[in-house]
Structure 1
Amino acid sequence: MPTLFKVHGSQNQFFILDQTTLSQPLTDPELRQLTRQLTNLQTGLLDGADGVLVVDKPFRPGSQAQMRVINADGSEATMCGNGLRTVARYVANRDHVDQFNVDTKDTSLRVRKQDNLAPGVPAFAVEISPVRFAKDALPFGNLGHDRLLDTPAPELWPRLRFSAIAVPNPHLISFVDRPALQDNVLGVLGHRLNEKNPYFGDGVNVNFAHILGHNRLFVRTYERGVGFTNACGTGMSATSLAFVLLHPDATDFDQPIDVFNPGGKVRTIVHYQNQGYWIELIGNATFTHEITVDEAALHQATVQADKCQVTVTGEQAAYQAFVDQLPQLNLID
């Protein structure tokens, strides 16, 4: 019988489904239906999740596996940095490899095993790229600019400045003070830009960042297709790039940046190489549950805990101990 895994990166929670283990892979409509069923926060499996990470055969030469990201609402994301770390760990364990490439929708990305963040907290580093700033890469319109980089956009919100970066997921970023981080501005703006609106027709991930010190950030994200998440890997990566570009006195290229979030902490490293940018995202890859399930229930989107064999791994306790000793996690209380 197939096994699902409930996992998280910085408390950005997912189920991993390895399609290569099934006798008959799910169709795309079946994947969307299954994701909506599993991830529902009220009725889903194990209190739901932010999405499903689908592992499949690679389709680019030299890659070890393919990852698809199905959001809780059934839409498909281009990439997910927190999710990629967990998929990297799954594939590393499955295939007994520590460094390899994973195909995503737009490109093939490098991943590698790291030393544990803390006892019992496995970690992986993943590549976040390509990076684009042009409005057609996000896309956006009706803001009077071809690029947003620390740009006032009063159509979006008064007195805030915005940067728009695709990595390749589209991200809108604003550096804010602590009161703005604690206010409901992010929720209002994120909700508005992910409904029908004249500015971001396909929606956008919205990130508010607060500078804590040299190479130290706090980032909160309203994620397209999900809403508020404990962390967003591509959001923290895009925000780290904006940090390096816009605040050169407070951060550095090629040096680790500590990025705190409501779910914990990651590290990012921003690189400029061969006239292009890419970001390394380093953080936990925690497996909390193994769920043995009947394959028919996957196809029918009828996965229920009382009809599965659920094994708790014990890794969450180790991750919580790691989080408990972190500073700066009360910025949105």
Structure 2
Amino acid sequence: MLIDLIKCHGSNNDFLLIDETEGNYKLDDFKRRDLALALCDRNTSLGADGILFIRNSKVADAQYRIFNSDGTEASMCGNGLRCAGRYVCEKLGRDEAIIETLKANLKVKKHEEIFIDIPTYQVEISPVSFKLEDLPLNLDQETLIQGKLPQLSEELTFTALAVPNPHLTAIVSKEQLESDLQEEISQKLNNPNDLFPDGVNVSFIRLLEKGSIYVNTFERGVGFTNACGTAMSASTLVTCLLNENEFEQPINVYNNGGMVQCSVHEKNGVYTIDLIGNATFLYSAQLEIEFDEEVMVGEILEQEDFNEDENYSLLQEHAKKYLNQF
């Protein structure tokens, strides 16, 4: 079987995009899982944080599903949604589209450039819930907002929320950020545990100055990642709730892969978040794939570069220079 794909990234959170509507691939969830395990392995194959599968939708312009590098399916990925949204918009010849995800139909639209010559898209992050049952988090209470979890840390204060992926966030100092604490907590919560039976994304937030934060994320099913779109969105919301940042204002969110902007909106107690950032295409390729007892990946038959990543590297340099001030 020949499969066409695009390698792309949002904040260097990188993906392989496969349009199932263009090829007679006849993929089921077992094959999607096996493809993710085979193609995302950075040691033996193309390497990526996950695969974005574009499919037809009866309720939106397109559906996208994302399978992580470990073969598990995520309900949403903000960085991946920007890339999928760009692909769908360009395919339809439009500046905006509605994308069906597992939990909601979300709006994606082309946005003014976040940096010079950077293809930029804005995506809606919702629904947002603080109910622990929606993560799930097993505590004898309804929410955890700036609360303690002594079984994880005596020094940190945590907020848990679903956007809709489950997230556990903490605002930390530079010393805490540079310690092993985040890895210890993340490994504990993403192995069999009593608190988060399905695992959780763990983000450490560092306040830089008004309107700017840094977010480092251990992503469930991936590990430490350059950036996680829903994590940056959730983290921005948390800082607004604590009056560290303002609602309805764009917040610069720096990450190990560069930077994005997030804006938090509240109406009648319901929160939505706009995530704005790059959707960079690296190359298109065609692979020979055989499904047997395991996925057999042949050589790349065709590859064409988009030549977009050089411009993104300038954004990265800008972000690093800014972070070095703190």
Using structure 1 for the length normalisation, give the TM-score.
Answer: 0.93
Alignment partner of 1:8 is 2:9: yes
State the distance in 1 between where 2:140 and 2:104 align: 31
Helix, strand or coil: the match of 2:63?
strand
The residue number in structure 2 matching 1:53 is: 52
Helix, strand or coil: the match of 1:115?
coil
Cα deviation for residue 41 of structure 1 reads 1.7
Counterpart among 46, 49, 67 of residue 64 in structure 2: 67
Helix, strand or coil: the match of 1:234?
helix
8 A Cα contact 1:260 1:328, kept in partner: no
Give deviations 1:225-246, integer Å, cap 9, x for gaps.
0000000000000111111001
Alignment partner of 1:178 is 2:179: no
The residue number in structure 2 matching 1:217 is: 213
Kindly tell me: are residues 24 and 3 of structure 1, through their superposed partners in 2, closer, same or farther at Cα, counting changes over 3 Å? closer
8 A Cα contact 1:264 1:329, kept in partner: no
Cα deviation for residue 188 of structure 1 reads 1.2
Q: How does 1:157-176 map to 2 (within 5 A)?
A: 157-176=153-172
Q: Which amino acid aligns with 2:264?
A: V
Give deviations 1:252-278, integer Å, cap 9, x for gaps.
110000000000000000000243000
Kindly tell me: are residues 328 and 302 of structure 1, through their superposed partners in 2, closer, same or farther at Cα, counting changes over 3 Å? farther
State the distance in 1 between where 2:213 and 2:172 align: 11
How many aligned positions are there?
323
The residue number in structure 1 matching 2:256 is: 262
Helix, strand or coil: the match of 2:154?
coil
Cα deviation for residue 308 of structure 1 reads 2.3
The residue number in structure 2 matching 1:288 is: 282
Helix, strand or coil: the match of 1:7?
strand
The residue number in structure 2 matching 1:118 is: 115
Q: Which amino acid aligns with 1:238?
A: A
Helix, strand or coil: the match of 1:49?
coil
Q: Which amino acid aligns with 2:18?
A: L
Cα deviation for residue 251 of structure 1 reads 1.1
State the distance in 1 between where 2:300 and 2:124 align: 38
Helix, strand or coil: the match of 1:32?
helix
8 A Cα contact 1:5 1:17, kept in partner: yes
The residue number in structure 2 matching 1:208 is: 204
8 A Cα contact 1:3 1:292, kept in partner: yes
Counterpart among 73, 80, 85 of residue 82 in structure 2: 85
Alignment partner of 1:279 is 2:293: no
Helix, strand or coil: the match of 2:297?
coil
Q: Which amino acid aligns with 1:314?
A: N
Kindly tell me: are residues 302 and 310 of structure 1, through their superposed partners in 2, closer, same or farther at Cα, counting changes over 3 Å? farther
In structure 2, runs of 5+ residues without a counterpart are none
8 A Cα contact 2:88 2:97, kept in partner: no
Cα deviation for residue 314 of structure 1 reads 1.3
More moved, 168-177 vs 268-277:
268-277
State the distance in 1 between where 2:323 and 2:311 align: 17
Cα deviation for residue 120 of structure 1 reads 2.8
Q: Which amino acid aligns with 2:165?
A: N
Alignment partner of 1:156 is 2:156: no
In structure 1, runs of 5+ residues without a counterpart are none
Q: Which amino acid aligns with 2:150?
A: P
8 A Cα contact 2:285 2:300, kept in partner: no
8 A Cα contact 1:181 1:331, kept in partner: no
What root-mean-square deviation, in Å, do the aligned CA atoms of Structure 1 and Structure 2 show?
1.7
Using structure 2 for the length normalisation, give the TM-score.
Answer: 0.95
The residue number in structure 1 matching 2:304 is: 311
Alignment partner of 1:241 is 2:237: yes
The residue number in structure 2 matching 1:190 is: 186
Helix, strand or coil: the match of 1:269?
strand
Cα deviation for residue 199 of structure 1 reads 0.5
Structure holding more strand per residue? 2
Cα deviation for residue 24 of structure 1 reads 3.2
Cα deviation for residue 312 of structure 1 reads 2.0
Give deviations 1:33-91, integer Å, cap 9, x for gaps.
0110110121121xx1100011001132xx11001010111100000000000001101
Give deviations 1:271-295, integer Å, cap 9, x for gaps.
002430000000000011111234x
Percent identity of equivalent pairs: 39
Cα deviation for residue 3 of structure 1 reads 2.0
State the distance in 2 between where 1:34 and 1:58 align: 22
8 A Cα contact 1:59 1:103, kept in partner: no
The residue number in structure 1 matching 2:44 is: 43
Helix, strand or coil: the match of 2:79?
helix
More moved, 234-243 vs 22-31:
22-31
8 A Cα contact 2:286 2:300, kept in partner: no
8 A Cα contact 1:178 1:331, kept in partner: no
